[in-house]
Amino acid sequence: MDIQTIGIVGAGQMGNGIAHVMALAGYDVLLTDVSAEALQKAVDTITGNLDRQVGRGKVSEADRDATLKRIVTTQALADLGQSDLVIEAATERETVKQAIFEDLIPHLKPTTILTSNTSSISITRLASRTDRPEKFMGFHFMNPVPVMQLVELIRGIATDKETFAACRAVVEKLGKTAASAEDFPAFIVNRILMPMINEAVYTLYEGVGSVESIDSSLKLGANHPMGPLELADFIGLDTCLAIMNVLHDGLADTKYRPCPLLTKYVEAGWLGRKSQRGFYDYRGDVPVPTR
């Protein structure tokens, strides 16, 4: 299938990053969100990120201008109906994703491939609620999308070979690397990453180390570019908790039990960078540990 037009549902951190790389690769992009403010913020973010790429010599000014022209925004979900490929990048809640698909499906072409950027939810289950399980799969980008080279491609039990091949071709056109993952809770990256972050929170919760000592230990002792608690703040503590709950519920193993301290931070609304407080307080000039 020749994919030329890509619809993206959700203009948040992931959605605007996906729009950026798709448009830069030459695809026509239609970006939708219920919030006009979110759409404008997404365009501003994409413009700023492209300007930085121009400044570093990675993108020409002509390519930046052409990329921005390929991105059209809309608040009407139905406008995505003629897209060749749709990528849902809404919040990591299954009920929200199902509602989006339910509203979108009546407007889609029969040939449209429908995908989700979910980082943990069952592709087979999401696909079963649509009219095209054979043309449905997981299309999981890493954050930040313009920088990270990996894309997880996850087939549901009904996904056909043509759909998988078409999505893999898109990843190749982006200049990124596709990793094929089986449809089990959290797939590959988050199946390994999130329990590590959760264990770091337990290490903090049990008083083994402070925020600063835990992050320094992993950065200097394991050569990680970011400490696990700093990374959790970057991802969003609500997202980390949601993925741990998917692992715990889906695999029924106590080793995936979310740390009570992680739950407490989310209950407080301390979600990390996006709310200005998480394991670090970002309201000043320099992030300060909160424990």
As annotated, the binding site includes 10-15, 33, 92, 97, 119, 143, 274
Residue reference for tokens 């741990």: 244
Question: Is 107 designated active site?
Answer: no
Determine the residue type at 11.
A
Binding residues for NAD(+): 10-15, 33, 92, 97, 119, 143, 274
Kindly give, in sequence order, each residue whose CB lies less than 8 Å from that of residue 165, ignoring residues fewer than 6 positions away.
Answer: none
Note whether 166 and 85 are within 8 A (CB): yes
Reply yes or no: is the peptide bond before residue 144 cis, omega within 30 of 0.
yes
Question: Is 20 designated active site?
Answer: no
- The β-bridge relationship of strands 150-155 and 136-141 is antiparallel
Residue reference for tokens 């549901």: 156
Annotated active-site residue in 119, 120, 122, 198: 119
Q: How far apart (Å, rounded) are the C-alpha atoms in residues 170 and 177? A: 10
Annotated active-site residue in 83, 140, 198, 230: 140
Angle between helices 228-235 and 211-221 (to 10 degrees): 110
Annotated active-site residue in 83, 117, 122, 190: 190
Question: Is 275 designated active site?
Answer: no
Distance set, CA 282 to CA 50, 268, 270, 274 (Å): 25, 16, 11, 9
Residues in the chain: 291
Note whether 73 and 123 are within 8 A (CB): no
* Nearest alpha-carbon partner for 77 in 41, 34, 118: 34
Question: Is 119 designated active site?
Answer: yes
Q: How far apart (Å, rounded) are the C-alpha atoms in residues 273 and 282? A: 7
**Which residues are marked as active site?**
119, 140, 152, 190
